[in-house]
Amino acid sequence: MSAPLLDIRDLSVSFRTYQGRAHVLDRACLTVNRGEVMGLVGETGCGKSVLSRAVLRIIPSPPGSIDGGEILFEGRDLLTLPRTDMRRLRGERISMIFQEPMNSLNPVFTVGNQMREVVRAHRKASRSEATDACLEMLAAVRLPEPGSVLRAYPHELSGGMRQRVMIAMALICNPSLLLADEPTTALDVTVQGQILAILAELAERQGLSILFVTHDMGVVAQLCNRVAVMYAGQVVEVADVQSIFARPAHPYTRGLIASIPGRSSGGELYAIPGSVPNPIDPPPGCRFHDRCLKATGDCRNVAPEMIRVVPDHSVACHLFNQDGLS
């Protein structure tokens, strides 16, 4: 099998805060293969956005610092790449879209001005060549009347249209990796469905890999090929999407799946008891142990390593054994 497109190894990130140093990522590992859509799920505050921003090296420093690990992209460690190379890579090889497109679009310029600038920052193109590329990309994200969208200011568009513009801008230089940080959370379900369909189609057509951050397991089921489950700054389970729903191995993953509306027996919505631990003083052993109904002495004291469940499915849990019982 060829090397993954993105290979994050033992990534640790912390932030200086008034209460002390917050260890937000602790030796997190994750891979994204070429052409796949990888889901990254976990409760609020578990480090999903920090991990995706670390890939682009856009963690504010201070207060943040990358304390260790490697982020191999197309075989090169992004953490040691010179700034100029990193700048070129952003937008050209790796792009990112965020939850709230208004924060990424400049309100005083038209969509056309902003999109053309992206094109011309990365390749030699005349104004009309750049315009043609923009129109083509706006049509690819199924915006009706791309010409009038190009002339519009961001505030003249709906939330769903703005998100499509963001996707078009992110993909216009044909990157090989798209980091999508909850890009559909602010949209209503119908528009969310349309955006997911567009992303799936573009991923397939352009051979694009996507790291799709969400806390919605329903979205994972709809879009992703594989999924990584994060808990308190660590990746605790990785599997292909069928296995994660059919045989979730980590008690936390089981809790997340049981929390999907309509999944739990009896019709009541399940909620995992407790909350994500404070990254300033994370618990020893397995970080999930004080929310886990089956935790043992080992769970309280020894950090579990990733073990293989079956090929393409790994879990970090002391309770897992090869019979699949935990």
Ligand X SMILES: Nc1ncnc2c1ncn2[C@@H]1O[C@H](COP(=O)(O)OP(=O)(O)OP(=O)(O)O)[C@@H](O)[C@H]1O
Tell the smallest beta-carbon distance from residue 9 to Mg ion (Å): 22
Q: Counting contacts by CB under 6 A, is residue 282 touching ligand X?
A: no
Select from Mg ion, ligand X, none the partner in contact with residue 101, using the beta carbon and a kind-dependent cut-off of 5 to 8 Å. Answer: none
Q: Counting contacts by CB under 6 A, is residue 275 touching ligand X?
A: no
Size of site (CB under 6 A) for ligand X: 17
Q: Counting contacts by CB under 6 A, is residue 279 touching ligand X?
A: yes
Q: Counting contacts by CB under 5 A, is residue 209 touching Mg ion?
A: no
- By CB under 6 A, which span of 37-45, 153-161, 167-175, 314-322 interacts with ligand X? 37-45
Strand-strand pairing, 226-231 and 234-240: antiparallel
Identify whether the C-beta of residue 228 lies closer than 8 Å to the C-beta of residue 216.
no
Strand-strand pairing, 37-41 and 226-231: parallel
Give whichever of 59 and 111 is closer to Mg ion, judged by the CB atom.
59
Question: b/e map of 231-269 (b: 16 or more CB within 10 Å)?
Answer: bbbbbbbbbbbebbbeebbbbbbbbbbbbbeeeeeeeee
- By CB under 6 A, which span of 17-25, 74-82, 103-111, 219-227 interacts with ligand X? 17-25
* Residue ranges in 103-142 that form contacts with ligand X under rule CB under 6 A: none
Give whichever of 43 and 240 is closer to Mg ion, judged by the CB atom.
43
Of 115, 117, 159, residue with least CA distance to 140: 115
Identify whether the C-beta of residue 51 lies closer than 8 Å to the C-beta of residue 30.
yes
Select from ligand X, Mg ion, none the partner in contact with residue 215, using the beta carbon and a kind-dependent cut-off of 5 to 8 Å. Answer: ligand X
Of 296, 274, 273, residue with least CA distance to 285: 296
Two tokens at 121?
């920052």
Give whichever of 110 and 259 is closer to Mg ion, judged by the CB atom.
259
SS3 63: coil
Tell the smallest beta-carbon distance from residue 90 to ligand X (Å): 19
Two tokens at 86?
């990193």
299, containing H or E segment: helix 297-301
Identify whether the C-beta of residue 205 lies closer than 8 Å to the C-beta of residue 19.
no
SS3 141: coil
Give whichever of 101 and 304 is closer to Mg ion, judged by the CB atom.
101
Strand partners, 110: none
Select from ligand X, Mg ion, none the partner in contact with residue 50, using the beta carbon and a kind-dependent cut-off of 5 to 8 Å. Answer: ligand X
Q: Counting contacts by CB under 6 A, is residue 44 touching ligand X?
A: yes
Tell the smallest beta-carbon distance from residue 22 to ligand X (Å): 5
Identify whether the C-beta of residue 166 lies closer than 8 Å to the C-beta of residue 101.
yes
Select from Mg ion, ligand X, none the partner in contact with residue 69, using the beta carbon and a kind-dependent cut-off of 5 to 8 Å. Answer: none
Two tokens at 120?
């011309």
Among 49, 52, 214, 234, binds Mg ion (CB under 5 A): 49
Q: Counting contacts by CB under 6 A, is residue 63 touching ligand X?
A: yes
* Residue ranges in 166-225 that form contacts with ligand X under rule CB under 6 A: 215
Cα 186 to chain center, whole Å? 16
Of 313, 94, 306, residue with least CA distance to 211: 94
Q: Counting contacts by CB under 6 A, is residue 50 touching ligand X?
A: yes
Tell the smallest beta-carbon distance from residue 124 to ligand X (Å): 37
Among 31, 49, 114, 209, binds ligand X (CB under 6 A): 49
Chain contacts with ligand X (rule: CB under 6 A):
15, 17, 22, 24, 42, 44-50, 60, 63-64, 215, 279
Chain contacts with Mg ion (rule: CB under 5 A):
49
